[in-house]
Amino acid sequence: MNRTTNPIKIALVGNPNIGKTTLFNKLCGLNQRTGNYPGVTIDKKIGKVNNVSREIELIDLPGINSMFPNSKDEELVVKYLLNKKAIDYPDKLIVVVSAINLKRNLYLFDQIRDLNVPIILAINMTDLALKRGVAIDIDELKKRLQIPIVLISAKNSDGIDELKGFMCADQTIESREIHYLQEDEISTLHEYASFRNSFFDQNDIYAYFLELTSKTELSEADQLMKEKFLKDNEIDQRRLKTNSSILRYKHINTILSDTVKVDKSEATDLTTRLDRIFLHPIFGYIIFGLILFGIFQAIFWLASYPMDLIDMGFANLSTGVNNLLPEGYFTRLLTEGLIPGLGGVIIFIPQIAILFLLFSILEESGYMSRIVYLTDRLMQRFGMSGKSIIPMISGLACAIPAIMAARTIENSRERLITILVTPLLTCSARIPVYVVIIALIVPDDLNVWIFNAQGLALMALYLLGIMMTFIVAFVLKMIMKPTYKSYLLMEMPEYLRPDPKNVLIRVWHNVKAFVWNAGKIIIATAIILFVLATNGGDAFKGADETIKTEYRDLSIEEQDVLISSYKIENSYLGIMGQAIEPVLKPLGYDWKIGIAIITSLAAREVFVGTISVIYAIDSEEEMTIRDRLRNEVNPTTGLPVFGLATCVSLLLFYAFSLQCMSTVAVTYKETKSLRWTSIQFIYMSLLAYFSALIAFQLLS
């Protein structure tokens, strides 16, 4: 094989929270996410290693605790590692372990070792371990394990060059004696291997062992064979697995007793001391509450300054372009379609950036796992696990990564409930809708005590979303039958100072992904909307004559205003909006809002863009979205269109409806069930419609 054209494929494997992603960033210099709670690495990521003598493709796999998969995430990784015949199968593995947690990390290493794939063992966090008095005799360890071992510190780049050297070197591996099974178990597995006679090598006892003990995906015939064998030989799968774990730990203990010395004089370290405060039965929860409250206030008032600037900037840009370019259809498309639409996306970059910044810090520092611990008891009452809190908090930013993050939840019922309720949480796409509407009913400069009233209103909406999430989860818990026993077993990471580079890379990634994904949809809808709003049937084309003959007495200016509103009413867009008006009228919406609701079916944030496009076409002057909406008056009643009742009704509608096609798609992908995907969409739509209906009818 030609080295220059065929890169070596190397995969990074290891337990969660051991700095695997930081190492990946260090090796590839590629912008990637990293975090301090299980499940940040959702899909495998691929990068090219920098500054090495040959081309290396590095694959970062999600962290796993065992080769006996328990969660969706682990299932995927184990399947990938077992499928040796796949074309993308790695040539080599780097197993990353933490020096402070060697015993348990080596357990996973020991399991992976039996795959007989060339392995490099990278012992990370050696700087921290040194401070803890952990001394590793690396030469002895190399002799015992018979593989390349390197001590590294991914954060400080220690040992990275040595690791790169090992990565480039050619490497083979011999199979070793089976120490994880007893004699009689080994012969049973040989029997199974010849009985099954599958595509695994007959001598690959480990592959057969995993197939026999785990819930792997098998064809129906294979599954029947496996079950027959288990029954005929009276095999207790759980006992077989537990015994193998005990034997592996025995093996590791003998190695570690000869190679690692721990000076236990440092009994209370920083993490233990911090946990006394953060996990305190009273203060722990108060701190958690304060952190959440801080996030909401930061999102609102901290972000409001750049947002006001952006809002004004886009209004000015429209005016500027309008004055600069000659009058015409293209200019109008720019100033009334594209620019306001684009502004609708850009305006909430500050909020998303702040949100992801704070989340990344929480994750990187290790606090996120403490939240899991603090909330597990409460979440269980609602049919979820403490681990559901991670998807739920991410759901406050965006439901899509949140639903994917639910993969770390081991129990399928807890996972399904989490997926079904997560989109009820206030995601960042709702923020622009909320911000625009709140601004219409709560004055800017109003303060309640020291807090900004608009911030409090936003917080109330967040709380409403959280409340509804729990109510629906509780209902689902009552309806759905428990599957198998749920459990929570997790490692609590050390508290670490968040690495600014990791945090910023993550913020940048999320903001970029948001702008790109939302931007595409919003700009496309803005253009379609504009075209639909500026074209129409005969009534639209004859607008000038109709108005001029019917309102002959009015001045030319007054006639112009009437013509433009007559035009939009009779445009294709107006006809569509009026068609659905009867359904939306009880909620207090006119046909223009109806159009915004239709267009934002694809993505909620389109609402603001649509509203600004529709009203921009309708009015002559350039002004900010907010002022434009404030000035909008219902022609029949003379009252503002965006009165209190309509605004509250809209807020509730957007709080509960699943107006995000990407979420629908990801729910389908993750549940592989059309039934649950439809249930989610339907229950949320009904919830939205009826709560908006009740609110409007009570308030108007």
| Residue with smaller CB distance to another protein, 386 or 465 | 386
* The one among 65, 153, 525, 691 contacting another protein by CB under 8 A: 65
Part of the chain binding another protein (CB under 8 A), chosen from 365-373, 456-464, 539-547, 559-567: 365-373
Residue 490 found at the interface with another protein (CB under 8 A): yes
Tokens 């979205």 locate to 625
User: Applying CB under 8 A, which part among 98-106, 466-474, 619-627, 647-655 lies near another protein?
Assistant: 98-106
- Rule CB under 8 A: say whether 485 interacts with another protein: yes
- Our finding on whether 263 is near another protein (CB under 8 A) is no
Hey, which residues between 192 and 221 contact another protein (CB under 8 A)? none
> Which residues are CB-neighbours of 432 under 8 A, at least 6 positions away?
344, 347, 348, 605, 607, 608
Helix (H, G, I), strand (E, B) or coil at 77: helix
The minimum distance between CB 377 and another protein, in angstroms, equals: 3
d(CA 409, CA 451): 37
- From 204-212, 337-345, 368-376, 559-567, span contacting another protein (CB under 8 A): 368-376
DSSP 3-state of 497:
coil
Work out which of 12, 59, 93, 100 binds another protein, going by CB under 8 A.
100
The DSSP-derived string for 283-325 is HHHHHHHHHHHHHHHIIIIIHHHHHHHHHHHHHHHHHHHHHHS
Q: How many CB atoms lie within 10 A of CB 398?
A: 25
CA distance 221 to 450: 68
**Structure-token pair, residue 392:** 């739920």
Site for another protein in 33-52 (CB under 8 A): none
Q: What is the largest CA-CA distance in the chain?
A: 105
| Binding track, positions 130-169, relative to another protein; x by CB under 8 A | --x-x-----------------------------------
Q: 383: which 2 tokens?
A: 């049919």
Give exposure, 409-424, as e/b (b: 16+ Cβ within 10 Å). Answer: bbbebbbbbbbbbbbb
User: Is residue 123 at the binding interface for another protein, with CB under 8 A as the rule?
Assistant: no
- Would you say 342 and 348 are in contact if contact means Cβ atoms under 8 Å apart? no
- Contact between 329 and another protein (CB under 8 A)? no
Closest CA to 623 of 335, 285, 256: 335
Does 270 help bind another protein (rule: CB under 8 A)? Answer: no
DSSP string, 320-371: HHHHHSPSSHHHHIIIIIIHHHHHHHHTTHHHHHHHHHHHHHHHHHTHHHHH
Count of residues interacting with another protein (CB under 8 A)? 40
Regarding 491 and contact with another protein (CB under 8 A), the answer is yes
Tell me: does residue 70 bind another protein (CB under 8 A): yes
In angstroms, what CA-CA distances link 67 with 20, 27, 64, 114, 462? 17, 26, 8, 10, 39
Residue 267 CB, nearest approach to another protein (Å): 10
| Site membership for another protein, residue 489 (CB under 8 A) | yes
Q: Pick out residues in 170-189 that bind another protein (CB under 8 A).
A: none
Span of 60-68, 156-164, 288-296, 591-599 interacting with another protein by CB under 8 A: 60-68
Give min distance, CB of 485 to another protein, in A.
Answer: 4
Tell me the H-state helices in 214-298. Answer: 220-232, 237-259, 270-278, 283-297
Spatial distance between the Cα atoms of 49 and 473, rounded to a whole number of angstroms:
44
Q: Please, what is the minimum distance in Å from the beta carbon of residue 89 to another protein?
A: 25
Q: Which of 123, 315, 374, 584 binds another protein (CB under 8 A)?
A: 374
Q: Which residue, 38 or 401, has its beta carbon nearer to another protein?
A: 38
Shortest CB 19 distance to another protein, Å: 16
Residue 191 touching another protein (CB under 8 A): no
| 66 contributes a contact to another protein by CB under 8 A | yes
Q: Are 189 and 209 in contact (CB under 8 A)?
A: yes
- With CB under 8 A as the contact rule, the residue among 3, 54, 79, 103 that binds another protein is 103
For residues 100 and 125, the answer to whether their CB atoms sit within 8 Å is yes
Shortest Cβ distance from residue 97 to another protein (Å)?
12
Kindly state the smallest distance separating residue 499's Cβ from another protein, in Å: 21
Q: Which residues contact another protein (rule: CB under 8 A)?
A: 65-66, 68, 70, 100-104, 107, 132, 134, 238, 241-242, 245-246, 249, 262, 271-272, 275-276, 279, 281, 369, 372-374, 376-377, 386, 484-485, 487-492
